[in-house]
Structure 1
Amino acid sequence: MEYFWPLFIISLNKMKQPGQFLRSLLSLPFIAFLLFINTPPASAQQVRGTIKGRVLTTENKPAENVSIALKGTKYGTLTDDNGYFIFKAAAGNYTLVVSLVGTTSQEKIIEVTAGQTIVVVPDFTINITANALNEVNIKASNRVNKFKRSKSEDVAKMPLNNLENPQSYTTVSKELLTEQGSFSADDAIKNAAGITKLWQATSRVGDGGAYFTLRGFTVQTSLRNGMTGNVATTIDAANLEKLEIIKGPSGTLYGSSLISYGGLINRVTKKPFETSAGEISYSFGSYGLNRVSADYNTPLDSGKKALLRINTAYNNINSFQDNGYSKNFAFDPSFSYQVNDRLKLSFEAEINHVVGTTPVIYFFNTTMADLGVSRADQLNLDYKRSYQSNDIINASSNVNFFAQADYKISDQWRSQTNISTTNSSGGGPQTYFYLLPGNDNLSRNVWELNGNTNSLQVQQNFIGDFKIGTLRNRLVVGLDFMNDRSNIKYIDPNHGSDNFDIINLNGPIANYDHFNRTKVDSLFQNVPSTTSYNRYSNYNYSAYASDVLNITDNLLAMASLRVDHFNTKSVDNPTTGEASVSFSQTTLSPKFGLVYQVIKDKVSVFGNYMNGFSNPGYNLAYDAATDKNVSRLFKSEQANQWEGGVKLDVFNGKLSSTISYYDISVKNKIRSDADHPNASVQDGTQKSRGFEAEVIANPVSGFNIIAGYSHNYSIMEKSSDYDNGRRPQTAGPVNSANFWLSYTITAGDVKGLGLGFGGNYASDNRILDNSYNGVFTLPSYTVLNTGVFYNKEKYRLALNVNNLTDKKYYTGYTTVNPQVLRQVIASLTYKF
């Protein structure tokens, strides 16, 4: 350890800006150095023996994260994803203890011989189901590599280890969010490479959730356990087990309605388990933060077949600016019933209600030449002013329900029937602002939205794990039905470009407080308004199949195909009295992948071809026969990705990493027809390619690292004249990075005391880049966060400081959105 600090000091001394510090932390030599700082010379090591074995559940499934220790010593480890354990100890006679929270410990006398390996047989069996095992960690002690998750059931719609999957994805665990003092799924995104936030949640009915850019394409958090789960507000993390950022165009398994060409964001929720446990937390801090959350689990019968878990939270916080607030209530119950040894039924609800003001968002009503500045830090705005009253509020509600029937057909096959319904509703006035020419005036604006969106998804999967001859097949065959409906009304006062009013930003603003609810209501009553609607009813009927074939123990191939039939119904527009045009479109979406494990279960190289698609519908196109523009059904837009990389899970799970390069090409994009006004052609193309690297490491006991870096190159290759050859305005920063370092004392009187430190870097982001408006840039930023915590069996105390340096920075989605300044949060948790 003594060699670590000089290098650390040298890195700090050379740091000219925080971004350089992040890049130094993410350098491979630095990570490699961290991994080996605790390794003494070979001559100094005592010759030890090796202990190996396996732990299974009562369902004969691998038991992961089970504690294995030699009683009265420091020797021990945790089981891996397949239930195996291996560690070294000095020669001698010991008592091997196998323990897991909520189960009875098991012991076995063993003898360790120097230089030899002892295999503990028979396998240990713990009296807990595999499902309960996944969730019992609510009271479990720290993992060896506590932020790592090596398996997913949703990414490939079948249980598959990361090293077996020829696709890149990132998993963010609830333990990491707890340590960082983060309370929303939106905040979890900062821990993944290749994705950054563009636009914070507005609670606008329909699409009021936060927007992100992933591999150069916009995406929202619209999936829950692999099914539709839209929430049009900030998504509370009270019920979040982990967040999966699944990268690349994934239309083959997920269709087109809920994802983007860059990938998708999937929320994996907490599930009931077989023991009684829970925790209650209270957090308070800057900007009037007050938060209460609870997580309670209990069996409802003596046989532990009926299980209930309730997660709930109430969050109240003011803006960092002079006005603005948000009050959020989340209630997420889940219930499961084990009907028999083959059939399990699960039911979940997600109820969310938000009331508050609209976050400050600046739009452009000017060209950059007329504005006079080209960067957000040059704007004549007061960072700490909201320019609106505290009483212009809107409300948004989400009521989502989920049901699953999991039936074991045989030892090789199971059936999984999933049903998901979502309802997003809300209304009220929402504010927005226009930047005007000259950079001295600001237009304050308001419109009103009312309505709802609904979705129903029914999915039937048959999942198999079987052999044909000597070849292992893991196959999912699925049928999918989805219906999306929208009925939203927009009311926009006809008050010219100023809408409400225009204020001068120089000096005192006499009418600053005039932008309030009373005057807004008067505006709607006394000024003619334009009413418009967003109404649709879309249906998707799909079938898909995906097979992972073990050609050898080390070589795996994935082949997948989806048939997707999209149908949109004709819907009346109350304003125009006209009906929309209905149409149908059928699309094929393939996916292929190869994985070769250079070292079995440790190092794999992978490559994939993946496809995504969308249905653009009818557009005006020039018809040479009639010399007129006619309405024409355009074919499906297509995105195709080639990706290759390396995945690691080495040093007994202490180092996990994914390094990849991707190339995404989009074709059949609609662009304006330069030769015929108001007409479109469908020959546009777009390119997005880049490099991503992620590391999750546990170099020494108690010390955990997460780090990521992304570089993205995006360009409109063949597009309309105004943006042809330019970076898309929603592609986000070219370079981004993230890291989090965490150290917890694992022994002694202050065991459980820990410290975390990390941050995020983003390079300059061109949110406007076209020949008409010009170029406008959000400056690069580095935001640092830290936290100290004390975690014991019955309680947890924590103090977090976010945006440690009080950095002023912006995100944007062709907009300018000021972000939160320094925030201090204290948290107290009682566990029972």
Structure 2
Amino acid sequence: MKIITLTTAFLLSFYAFSQSGLKGKVTDEQDQPIFGAAVYISALEQGTTTDYNGFYELKDIPQGKHTVKVSFIGYTVGNKTIEISKNTTTSLDFVLEENSTQLQEVEIIGRKERGYKNTNSFIATKSATKLIDVPQSVGYVTKEVILDQAAFTINDVVKNISGINQFSFYNDLTIRGFRVQGQQNSSMLLNGSRMMTSFWSQQLIPHIERVEVIKGPASALFGNSSPGGTINSVTKKPLKEQKQSISASMGSFNTFRLLTDFTGPMTKDKKLLYRLNLGYENTDGFRDLQFGKNIVLAPSFSFIPNDKTRLNFDIVYQDSKGRLDRGQAVFGDGDLYSTPITRSLSASNDYLNEQNLNITLSFQHKLTDNLSLNSTYLNSSYDEDLLEHRTANNFAALGDGTLDISKVAMRVFVRKRSWNNQNFSNYLNYDLDFGDIKNKLLMGYDYFQQELEPGGSQLEANAYLLTNGNSTNSFNVANKDNYVLDADGNPVTNVAHFDLTSTNGNGMRDMSNYVYGVRHYTPYKQVNHGIYIQNQFSYKKFNLLVGLRRDDFTDYLNYNTEDEEKVKQNAFIPRIGAVYKATPNINVYSTWVQGYQPQTATDINNPEAGGPFDPLESELFEVGVKTEWFQKRLGVTLAFYDLTQQGALYSANDSSNADLLKQIGEEKSKGIEIDAYGKILPNWSLVVNYAFNHAYFTEADETTLAIFGDQKPNAPKNTFNFWTKYMINKGNLNGLGFGLGYDYVGERNGSIVRSPELIPVFPSYGLVNTVLYYSVDKFQIQLNFNNIFDQTHWVGGYDFLRAFPGKPRNIMATVSYTF
């Protein structure tokens, strides 16, 4: 028996010793490792992919000559023939050259880079263009930053991009001092197409490859858009290599998250690829009675039958349940610290249920080597089901005309609405050379349609009862006899006030005795036809981008009724940008672009708003420098800009008509921004940004509350962000890493509201965040500590009744496994 055992052991050890193999490293021309490159020997039908450091290894290769191929999207294919000797492991390295002609025109295959730096973008020119060659500032956050910071929403990560900050708790941001928000048909894109989103709930990102922002108006490519910028969310796309990951997070505020990401080929020839991202979150949040139950289901499929044709199909389904948080109310003396930042005005029987579905079909076909056709169709729908107890935007009224600043006047909304967006984009890319002048011509047509579907309606129970059986949100002592009064002469409430001195305000409310009014949201439709042409000229060290777009908007008011009315608006939108390649790693750029944004159908369709209104028009002048350092591992952008907008709508401060709006003459934003993303060393990553932004009113109607020279709402003059991550990759501490971050936001004004005395100034703040990592093989555990000094702060807000505090100290533990 011992002889048999020894013989078996000897044979096994001999077999192990006698194996022949091949190993090596794949890098680019800057000696940077290429992760995910395919290494294969066709004759043996044997292959593998490179790891994070660019290394690969093939085992059990027969001795003799073999041709080894290495391929990766965006690079030329590497071919080498090598002699494999018996019982040896042979080394073979590859250096792949970048091939821009292989870059896809539309983003169908997953991003090739892993790290904080992103090299190419499709959003800025509607074609694969190096960011350093784009004559406009483009900020971004990659999925690696998202994972390292344990972020779950866009609001969590905008701090990593200069000039962007939160306006409120909601899907509501400012870019260079101009507002970008949900439930609009502009400035929020999914894979380059306009989508419909919630205004109330922040956009979820477990399925997102990167978030990118074009600074300034992007109207020349996408039609109506905010002058501050356009936010594009790029979904994770299928990869040719099989990869799976799963992670679970637990932390403060009873938060639990579960994320999965599966991708790879569905067929042996790798012509059909898939990716499936699932996300689940259950959290109480730090605010009283608030919670979130969020589900994201995002499958994606890519069909690549040959080198000329690519087809992609994406579905993103989101289901969110919670309550609508209108913010923190403080005592009427304006002390932001007078009530706990945890206090909300919600009742326990309130709810907010939302569903969002985005279905995208994108197609690319190369008609010739130089001409390609690109088509994308996006169907985007959003459903809102809401019950909320909320402020009536003032403190409790007393019979003598004064206010009780310890109580908040309340009202109730019960609302259901549904929207549907159709976005159809078609364009041709044509590469044409005239001697030394290279041209990349883009010609396209966009069709966009937005509908507010039938049935949209709202029940509203206002604050005070009237003698005629109705209710109202305001109390006018001069018309005291019109109100139901109590024994003390105070107006009787329809919805009871919220007592800021009580701890019982969040209980269930009996709604059976409320007096309701009904508001019907008349169905409307907006249709937009856009045609555009753009050319990118390249001559030696000079690049020139010239574009022109024509948009025709039609609003159908009282849609599908006898009173249907068409409101037409149109615009020509030019864009000019230039880039000079001063050195191999420094580009200087300048740009001039105009923007156009018709007033929303909601404002046009509201007879109480005072319209019709002129469209919003904007203009951007920008110059800057883009550069790459540390063998192109780190990208830096420095931008100087001057941005002007005319025609913004603000409250007319009319006590008799709360809906009345007026157009501000002019608003301006001037500033400096700097962004740096990437690596200083292969194991040391960095994100740094700073913005000085002076956003103010240069012209204002004296009947509004906008005053010449005032800083615009929620537009801090100074913001700064720093985040760094260092991983130890050798020695006894191999696999251990740590990160450190600091977020600073300067002082901000609240929003323009009807009562000037309610407008707060939110103080500046600086938050310190840290993270610890430990990785071994395919397993990682990380521990994120945010706001470690527990600084009380406000991310934005409207007034002293609707202030939006930021999270106190919190912790998140995440366990991840990749296989």
Using structure 2 for the length normalisation, give the TM-score: 0.78
CA–CA distance in 2 between the matches of 1:179 and 1:527? 50
Instruction: Measure, in 2, the Cα distance between the counterparts of 1:428 and 1:323.
Output: 15
1:527 equivalent in alignment to 2:515: yes
Question: CA offset at residue 698 of structure 1?
Answer: 2.9
Distance 1:65 1:226, change over 3 A: farther
2:255 to 281, 289, 292: 289
Q: Is contact 1:768–1:777 with CA below 8 Å preserved after alignment?
A: no
Asked whether the 8 Å contact 1:194–1:736 carries over to 2, the reply is yes
Of residues 399, 408, 414 in structure 1, which corresponds to 2:372?
414
Match of 1:243 in 2: 211
Indicate the residue corresponding to 2:670 in structure 1. Answer: 689
Q: 1:298 deviation in Å?
A: 3.0
Matches within 5 A, 1:647-666: 647-666=626-645
**Contact 2:650–2:752 at 8 Å: present in 1 too?**
no
Partner in structure 2 of residue 216 of structure 1: 177
Q: CA deviation at 1:349?
A: 0.4
Kindly tell me: are residues 657 and 123 of structure 1, through their superposed partners in 2, closer, same or farther at Cα, counting changes over 3 Å? closer
* CA RMSD between the two structures: 3.9
User: Are 1:806 and 2:770 matched, yes or no?
Assistant: no
CA contact (8 A) 2:329 2:339 kept: no
One of 167, 172, 186 as aligned partner of 2:155: 186
Alignment partner of 1:562 is 2:546: no
Query: In 2, distance between residues paired with 1:54 and 1:180?
Result: 24
Local SS of the residue matching 2:196: coil
Q: CA distance change for structure 1 residues 752 and 583 in 2, over 3 Å: closer, same or farther?
A: same
Unaligned stretches of 5+ in structure 1? 1-49, 72-77, 86-94, 98-104, 110-119, 202-209, 365-369, 622-628
Cα distance in 1 for residues equivalent to 2:813 and 2:135:
41
- 1:345–1:405 contact (8 Å) kept in structure 2: yes
2:751 equivalent to 1:765: no
Relative distance call for 1:827 and 1:435 in structure 2 (3 A) is farther
**Contact 2:581/2:587 (CA < 8 Å) preserved in 1?**
yes
- Partner Cα distance (2:684, 2:792) in 1: 31
The 1-side partners of 2:754 and 2:197 are apart by 36
Q: Alpha-carbon deviations, 1:62-89, whole Å to 9, x = none?
A: x999856799xxxxxx99997599xxxx
Instruction: Please give the alpha-carbon distance, in whole angstroms, between the structure 2 residues aligned to 1:155 and 1:756.
Output: 31
In the aligned structure 2, how far is the partner of 1:388 from the partner of 1:802? 26
Q: Work out the CA distance in 1 between the residues paired with 2:90 and 2:670.
A: 52
Deviation, structure 1 residue 320: 1.1
1:323 and 2:310 correspond: no
What is the identity, as a one-letter code, of the residue corresponding to 2:496?
Answer: D
Taking structure 1 as reference, are residues 617 and 700 closer, same or farther at Cα in structure 2, changes over 3 Å only? Answer: closer
Change (3 A) 1:816 1:687: same
Partner of 2:460: 492
> In the superposition, relative to structure 1, how do residues 311 and 663 fare at CA in structure 2: closer, same or farther (>3 Å)?
same
Aligned residue type for 1:559 = V
Taking the aligned partners of 1:152 and 1:649, their CA distance within structure 2 comes to: 16
Q: By how many angstroms is 1:807 displaced? A: 1.7
Q: Which residue of 1 aligns with 2:359?
A: 401
Displacement after TM superposition at 1:451 (Å): 1.5
- Report the Cα distance in structure 2 between the residues aligned to 1:681 and 1:783, rounded to whole angstroms: 38
Distance in structure 2 (CA, Å) of the matches to 1:189 and 1:122: 34
Distance in structure 1 (CA, Å) of the matches to 2:555 and 2:283:
41
CA shift, 1:394, in A, is 1.9
Q: Deviation of residue 216 (structure 1)?
A: 0.9
The residue that corresponds to 2:684 in the other structure is 703
Deviation at 1:696? 2.5
Deviations 1:22-61 (A, max 9, x none): xxxxxxxxxxxxxxxxxxxxxxxxxxxx9979999899xx
User: What is the 5 A alignment of 1:746-757?
Assistant: 746-757=729-740
Q: Tell me the equivalent position of 1:604.
A: 587
Correspondence for 2:426:
460
Contact 2:411 2:462 in 1 (8 A): no
Report the AA paired with residue 159 of structure 2. K
Q: Tell me whether 1:512 sits opposite 2:505 in the alignment.
A: yes
Q: Distance in 1 between matches of 2:37 and 2:642?
A: 42
Alignment of 1:611-630 (within 5 A): 611-616=594-599
Question: Which range moved further: 810-819 or 296-305?
Answer: 810-819
Q: Which has the larger radius of gyration?
A: 2
Residues 389-398 or 165-174, more deviating: 389-398
Aligned partners of 2:162 and 2:673 also within 8 Å = yes
Aligned length: 702
Partner of 2:229: 263
Correspondence list, 1:192-207, <5 A: 192-201=161-170
**TM-aligned CA deviation for residue 348 of structure 1:** 0.5
How big is the shift at 1:147?
Answer: 0.7
Contact 1:618 1:634 in 2 (8 A): no
Other-structure match for 2:398: none
Distance between the aligned counterparts of 1:121 and 1:519, measured in 2?
72
Among candidates 803, 806, 817, match of residue 819 of structure 1: 806
| Whole-angstrom CA distance in 2 between matches of 1:403 and 1:731 | 37
Distance in 2 (CA, whole Å) between partners of 1:319 and 1:682 is: 38
Q: Who is 1:13 aligned against?
A: none
Equivalent in 504, 524, 548 of residue 536 of structure 2: 548
Shift of 1:321: 2.9
1:332 and 2:316 are equivalent in the alignment: no
Structure 2 residue aligned with 1:252, among 210, 220, 228?
220
Code of the residue aligned with 1:512 in structure 2: it is: G
Q: Where does residue 386 of structure 2 map in the other structure?
A: 428
Q: Is the 8 A contact 1:64 1:82 kept in 2?
A: no
Secondary structure in 1 matching 2:157: helix
For 2:457, give the aligned amino acid: K
Q: Give 1:472 deviation, angstroms.
A: 0.6
- In structure 2, distance between residues paired with 1:501 and 1:706: 49
C-alpha contact 2:103 2:128 (8 A) present in aligned 1: no
Q: Check 1:535–1:719 CA distance in 2 against 1; reply closer, same or farther (3 A cut).
A: farther
351-360 or 748-757: bigger deviation:
748-757
8 Å Cα contact 2:328-2:342 kept in structure 1: no
| Gap change, CA 1:441 and 1:422, over 3 Å in 2 | same
Q: Distance in 2 between matches of 1:470 and 1:234?
A: 48
Aligned to 1:583: 567
Q: TM-score, normalised by structure 1?
A: 0.77
How far is the alpha carbon of 1:771 from its aligned partner?
A: 9.1
Q: 1: CA distance between counterparts of 2:235 and 2:213?
A: 14
Q: Tell me if 1:714 matches 2:714.
A: no
Task: Determine if contact 1:172/1:192 at 8 Å carries over to the other structure.
Answer: yes
Please state how far the C-alpha of 1:388 moved relative to its aligned partner.
3.3
1:154 equivalenced with 2:154 (yes/no): no
Is residue 646 of structure 2 the alignment partner of residue 646 of structure 1?
no
State the percentage of identical aligned residues.
Answer: 23
Q: How does 1:92-107 map to 2 (within 5 A)?
A: 107=91
The change in CA–CA distance for 1:772 and 1:355 in structure 2 (over 3 A counts) is: closer
Q: Secondary structure at the match of 1:828?
A: strand
Asked if 2 retains the 8 angstrom alpha-carbon contact of 1:293 and 1:314, the reply is: yes
Change (3 A) 1:581 1:689: farther
* 1:553-609 per-position Cα deviation (integer Å, ceiling 9, x unaligned): 211111011000001113259xxx984642112200000011111113x10111100
Partner of 2:483: none
For 1:816, what is the secondary structure of its paired residue? strand
Matched, 1:342 2:326: no
Alignment of 1:665-684 (within 5 A): 665-668=644-647, 684=665
Does the 8 A contact of 2:136 with 2:591 survive in 1?
A: yes
Partners of 2:620 and 2:641 within 8 A in 1: yes
Corresponding residue SS for 1:454: strand
